[in-house]
Amino acid sequence: MGATYSVGDSSTGGGSLRRGASPQAIRSALLAEDRRRFDLAYESALTEAKVSLDLTALFEMLETWRGLALLQQDPSRFHAVARRAAELLTGEPSPDDEPLSVTRAKARM
């Protein structure tokens, strides 16, 4: 199975997180603490694409990170999703005052 990726109209600006968003737009929309992980994942996907001559993994990686960037646009929603994921994985609710970084670690986010 192959993957497709679309390129948006450049007149809409570089910050759009619509399907086909540029890696730069995705990276810019991420929380600062996620940008280094994005960079590493992007480099790895580019290397894989260079070796395999298949862009599927690159497109899938970009789509995964685009979804996270979209979720992070609404901080309260992102916190709620992280708390729910942590609860599902640990079987225990996260304390209200728990730092987001701790909750994300529990949620493997």
The rounded distance, in Å, linking the Cα atoms of 11 and 25 is 14
Residue 96: predicted pLDDT: 85
Q: How do the domains of the chain map onto residue ranges?
A: 1-73, 75-109
Q: Which distant-in-sequence residues (6+ apart) come within 8 Å of 45 by Cβ?
A: 57, 58, 61, 62
CA angle 24, 1, 69 (to 5 degrees): 25
Residue 106, token pair as written in the block: 């529990």
Q: Is pLDDT larger for residue 66 or for residue 11? A: 66
Residue 34: predicted pLDDT: 97
Residue-wise pLDDT for 57-89, tens only, equals 999 999 999 999 999 999 999 999 999 999 999
pTM for this predicted structure: 0.80
